[in-house]
Protein backbone atom coordinates (compact mmCIF):
# COMPACT_ATOMS: atom_id res chain seq x y z
CA UNK A 1 0.00 0.00 0.00
CA UNK A 2 2.82 2.43 0.88
CA UNK A 3 4.19 2.12 -2.66
CA UNK A 4 0.89 3.10 -4.30
CA UNK A 5 0.97 6.27 -6.38
CA UNK A 6 -2.35 8.09 -6.64
CA UNK A 7 -4.04 10.92 -8.46
CA UNK A 8 -3.66 13.80 -6.03
CA UNK A 9 -6.89 15.40 -7.25
CA UNK A 10 -8.81 12.69 -5.38
CA UNK A 11 -7.40 13.96 -2.08
CA UNK A 12 -7.99 17.70 -2.38
CA UNK A 13 -10.34 19.53 0.02
CA UNK A 14 -12.97 21.48 -1.93
CA UNK A 15 -12.78 24.42 0.51
CA UNK A 16 -9.05 25.17 0.88
CA UNK A 17 -8.01 23.39 -2.37
CA UNK A 18 -5.13 21.65 -0.60
CA UNK A 19 -4.47 18.03 0.38
CA UNK A 20 -6.79 16.99 3.20
CA UNK A 21 -5.48 17.82 6.67
CA UNK A 22 -7.13 15.77 9.47
CA UNK A 23 -10.12 14.93 7.23
CA UNK A 24 -13.62 14.82 8.69
CA UNK A 25 -16.90 13.88 7.03
CA UNK A 26 -20.42 15.19 7.42
CA UNK A 27 -23.45 12.83 7.41
CA UNK A 28 -23.95 13.68 3.71
CA UNK A 29 -20.58 11.93 3.11
CA UNK A 30 -18.78 15.05 1.86
CA UNK A 31 -15.32 15.43 3.39
CA UNK A 32 -13.28 18.49 4.38
CA UNK A 33 -10.20 19.36 6.39
CA UNK A 34 -10.98 19.60 10.12
CA UNK A 35 -10.28 23.34 10.18
CA UNK A 36 -12.27 23.89 6.98
CA UNK A 37 -15.28 22.10 8.47
CA UNK A 38 -15.32 24.67 11.27
CA UNK A 39 -15.63 27.39 8.63
CA UNK A 40 -18.98 25.79 7.76
CA UNK A 41 -20.27 26.02 11.33
CA UNK A 42 -23.15 28.27 12.28
CA UNK A 43 -23.94 28.57 15.98
CA UNK A 44 -27.42 29.45 17.25
CA UNK A 45 -28.63 30.09 20.79
CA UNK A 46 -29.30 26.41 21.42
CA UNK A 47 -26.98 24.44 19.18
CA UNK A 48 -24.45 24.51 16.36
CA UNK A 49 -24.94 23.38 12.79
CA UNK A 50 -22.62 22.58 9.91
CA UNK A 51 -23.77 23.55 6.41
CA UNK A 52 -22.07 21.43 3.76
CA UNK A 53 -20.28 23.68 1.24
CA UNK A 54 -21.11 21.27 -1.59
CA UNK A 55 -24.71 20.11 -1.11
CA UNK A 56 -25.72 22.54 1.69
CA UNK A 57 -27.21 19.76 3.77
CA UNK A 58 -27.36 20.76 7.44
CA UNK A 59 -25.77 18.54 10.10
CA UNK A 60 -25.31 18.80 13.84
CA UNK A 61 -21.98 16.98 13.90
CA UNK A 62 -19.18 15.43 11.87
CA UNK A 63 -16.90 12.44 12.30
CA UNK A 64 -13.25 11.75 11.66
CA UNK A 65 -12.70 10.01 8.33
CA UNK A 66 -10.30 7.33 9.53
CA UNK A 67 -10.14 5.47 6.23
CA UNK A 68 -9.10 8.59 4.35
CA UNK A 69 -6.67 9.57 7.10
CA UNK A 70 -5.05 6.15 6.76
CA UNK A 71 -4.68 6.62 3.01
CA UNK A 72 -3.07 10.02 3.53
CA UNK A 73 -0.46 8.29 5.71
CA UNK A 74 0.34 5.55 3.21
CA UNK A 75 -0.32 6.69 -0.36
CA UNK A 76 2.22 8.67 -2.35
CA UNK A 77 2.14 11.33 -5.05
CA UNK A 78 4.86 13.37 -6.77
CA UNK A 79 5.52 17.02 -5.96
CA UNK A 80 4.27 19.16 -8.85
CA UNK A 81 7.47 21.23 -8.72
CA UNK A 82 10.38 18.84 -8.09
CA UNK A 83 8.67 15.47 -8.84
CA UNK A 84 9.84 14.02 -5.54
CA UNK A 85 7.56 11.15 -4.45
CA UNK A 86 6.13 11.74 -0.98
CA UNK A 87 3.46 10.44 1.39
CA UNK A 88 0.39 12.66 0.95
CA UNK A 89 0.56 13.98 4.52
CA UNK A 90 4.17 15.02 3.93
CA UNK A 91 3.50 16.35 0.45
CA UNK A 92 1.16 19.10 1.68
CA UNK A 93 3.89 20.67 3.85
CA UNK A 94 6.65 19.97 1.33
CA UNK A 95 4.83 21.79 -1.48
CA UNK A 96 4.69 24.99 0.57
CA UNK A 97 8.47 25.14 0.90
CA UNK A 98 9.72 23.27 -2.17
CA UNK A 99 12.84 25.05 -3.42
CA UNK A 100 11.90 24.19 -7.00
CA UNK A 101 8.56 26.01 -6.75
CA UNK A 102 9.60 29.41 -8.07
CA UNK A 103 11.71 27.98 -10.88
CA UNK A 104 8.95 25.58 -11.92
CA UNK A 105 6.37 28.24 -12.69
CA UNK A 106 6.65 29.15 -16.39
CA UNK A 107 5.28 32.43 -17.72
CA UNK A 108 1.62 32.27 -18.67
CA UNK A 109 1.11 31.59 -22.36
CA UNK A 110 -1.62 30.24 -24.61
CA UNK A 111 -1.87 26.48 -25.03
CA UNK A 112 -2.61 25.36 -28.56
CA UNK A 113 -5.47 22.90 -29.00
CA UNK A 114 -4.53 19.71 -30.83
CA UNK A 115 -8.00 19.32 -32.34
CA UNK A 116 -9.62 21.56 -34.95
CA UNK A 117 -12.81 23.09 -33.57
CA UNK A 118 -16.11 23.46 -35.37
CA UNK A 119 -17.51 26.96 -35.89
CA UNK A 120 -19.85 26.63 -32.90
CA UNK A 121 -17.06 25.30 -30.68
CA UNK A 122 -14.76 28.13 -31.73
CA UNK A 123 -17.44 30.68 -30.78
CA UNK A 124 -17.88 28.96 -27.42
CA UNK A 125 -14.12 29.10 -26.86
CA UNK A 126 -14.10 32.84 -27.60
CA UNK A 127 -16.97 33.41 -25.17
CA UNK A 128 -15.14 31.46 -22.47
CA UNK A 129 -11.99 33.53 -23.02
CA UNK A 130 -13.97 36.78 -22.91
CA UNK A 131 -15.10 36.03 -19.35
CA UNK A 132 -17.78 38.76 -19.29
CA UNK A 133 -20.37 36.94 -17.14
CA UNK A 134 -19.59 35.79 -13.59
CA UNK A 135 -22.88 34.22 -12.54
CA UNK A 136 -23.76 31.95 -15.46
CA UNK A 137 -21.52 30.47 -18.11
CA UNK A 138 -21.42 29.21 -21.68
CA UNK A 139 -20.49 25.61 -22.40
CA UNK A 140 -16.93 25.49 -23.82
CA UNK A 141 -18.01 22.76 -26.26
CA UNK A 142 -21.20 24.24 -27.73
CA UNK A 143 -23.06 27.54 -27.52
CA UNK A 144 -25.49 26.63 -24.76
CA UNK A 145 -25.43 29.52 -22.30
CA UNK A 146 -26.85 30.66 -18.94
CA UNK A 147 -25.49 27.61 -17.11
CA UNK A 148 -24.60 27.79 -13.42
CA UNK A 149 -21.52 25.90 -12.21
CA UNK A 150 -23.68 22.92 -11.27
CA UNK A 151 -25.66 22.93 -14.51
CA UNK A 152 -22.46 23.30 -16.53
CA UNK A 153 -20.99 20.16 -14.94
CA UNK A 154 -24.16 18.17 -15.63
CA UNK A 155 -24.39 19.48 -19.19
CA UNK A 156 -20.81 18.51 -20.07
CA UNK A 157 -21.20 15.09 -18.47
CA UNK A 158 -24.40 14.41 -20.41
CA UNK A 159 -23.50 15.84 -23.82
CA UNK A 160 -19.71 16.19 -24.20
CA UNK A 161 -17.87 13.55 -22.11
CA UNK A 162 -16.75 11.71 -25.27
CA UNK A 163 -15.25 14.82 -26.89
CA UNK A 164 -11.73 16.20 -26.65
CA UNK A 165 -11.62 17.72 -23.14
CA UNK A 166 -8.98 20.37 -23.88
CA UNK A 167 -10.89 23.60 -23.29
CA UNK A 168 -10.67 26.95 -21.51
CA UNK A 169 -12.64 26.83 -18.26
CA UNK A 170 -15.37 29.50 -18.60
CA UNK A 171 -15.64 29.82 -14.81
CA UNK A 172 -11.94 30.47 -14.15
CA UNK A 173 -11.62 32.80 -17.14
CA UNK A 174 -14.44 34.99 -15.79
CA UNK A 175 -12.59 35.67 -12.53
CA UNK A 176 -10.06 38.50 -12.10
CA UNK A 177 -7.36 35.98 -11.23
CA UNK A 178 -8.26 33.68 -14.13
CA UNK A 179 -6.02 33.15 -17.16
CA UNK A 180 -8.21 33.52 -20.26
CA UNK A 181 -5.58 31.78 -22.42
CA UNK A 182 -5.07 28.72 -20.23
CA UNK A 183 -6.55 25.55 -21.68
CA UNK A 184 -7.32 22.74 -19.25
CA UNK A 185 -6.27 19.27 -20.38
CA UNK A 186 -9.57 17.89 -19.04
CA UNK A 187 -12.10 20.66 -18.47
CA UNK A 188 -14.82 18.37 -17.09
CA UNK A 189 -12.58 16.96 -14.36
CA UNK A 190 -11.25 20.46 -13.68
CA UNK A 191 -14.76 21.88 -13.16
CA UNK A 192 -15.81 18.84 -11.14
CA UNK A 193 -12.85 19.19 -8.76
CA UNK A 194 -12.40 22.94 -8.58
CA UNK A 195 -15.90 24.36 -8.90
CA UNK A 196 -18.02 22.19 -6.64
CA UNK A 197 -20.37 24.94 -5.48
CA UNK A 198 -21.72 28.17 -6.95
CA UNK A 199 -19.68 30.64 -4.93
CA UNK A 200 -19.65 33.17 -7.77
CA UNK A 201 -22.98 34.62 -6.60
CA UNK A 202 -21.46 35.79 -3.33
CA UNK A 203 -17.95 36.93 -4.15
CA UNK A 204 -16.21 40.28 -4.02
CA UNK A 205 -14.23 40.36 -7.27
CA UNK A 206 -11.67 42.79 -5.85
CA UNK A 207 -10.33 39.99 -3.63
CA UNK A 208 -7.90 37.24 -4.45
CA UNK A 209 -9.05 33.68 -5.09
CA UNK A 210 -8.76 32.28 -1.56
CA UNK A 211 -10.43 35.32 0.04
CA UNK A 212 -13.27 34.97 -2.45
CA UNK A 213 -13.76 31.31 -1.57
CA UNK A 214 -13.78 31.92 2.19
CA UNK A 215 -16.22 34.83 1.99
CA UNK A 216 -18.43 32.97 -0.47
CA UNK A 217 -18.86 30.10 1.98
CA UNK A 218 -19.88 32.44 4.80
CA UNK A 219 -22.29 34.40 2.59
CA UNK A 220 -23.80 31.20 1.28
CA UNK A 221 -24.45 29.95 4.81
CA UNK A 222 -26.21 33.18 5.73
CA UNK A 223 -28.44 32.99 2.67
CA UNK A 224 -29.45 29.39 3.37
CA UNK A 225 -30.41 30.13 7.00
Which one, of 37, 76, 69, lies nearest residue 53 by Cα? Answer: 37
Query: pTM score, two decimals?
Result: 0.47
Q: Check if the beta carbon of residue 131 is closer than 8 Å to that of residue 170.
A: yes
Structural domains of the chain ordered from first start: 8-104 (3.30.40.10), 119-219 (no CATH)
| DSSP-derived 3-state class of residue 182 | coil
Q: What does the pLDDT look like over 82-103, one tens digit per residue?
A: 888 999 999 988 877 776 654 5
Percent of the chain with pLDDT over 70: 64
| DSSP-derived 3-state class of residue 77 | strand
Which one, of 111, 133, 135, 118, lies nearest residue 187 by Cα? Answer: 111
pLDDT of 2 strictly over 50: no
Residue 116, C-beta contacts closer than 8 angstroms, at least 6 positions apart: none
Backbone angles phi, psi at 58, to 5 degrees: -95, 135
pLDDT of 163 strictly over 60: yes
Q: What does the mean pLDDT of the chain come to? A: 75
For residues 213 and 150, what is the distance between their CA atoms, to the nearest angstrom?
16
Amino acid sequence: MSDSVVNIEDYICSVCREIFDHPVSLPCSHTFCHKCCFMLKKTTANHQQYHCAICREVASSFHRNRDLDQKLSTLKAPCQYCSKLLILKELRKHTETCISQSAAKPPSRPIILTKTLSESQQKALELAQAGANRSTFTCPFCQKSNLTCTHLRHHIKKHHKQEDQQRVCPICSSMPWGDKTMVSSNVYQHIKRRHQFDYDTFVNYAQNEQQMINDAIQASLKESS
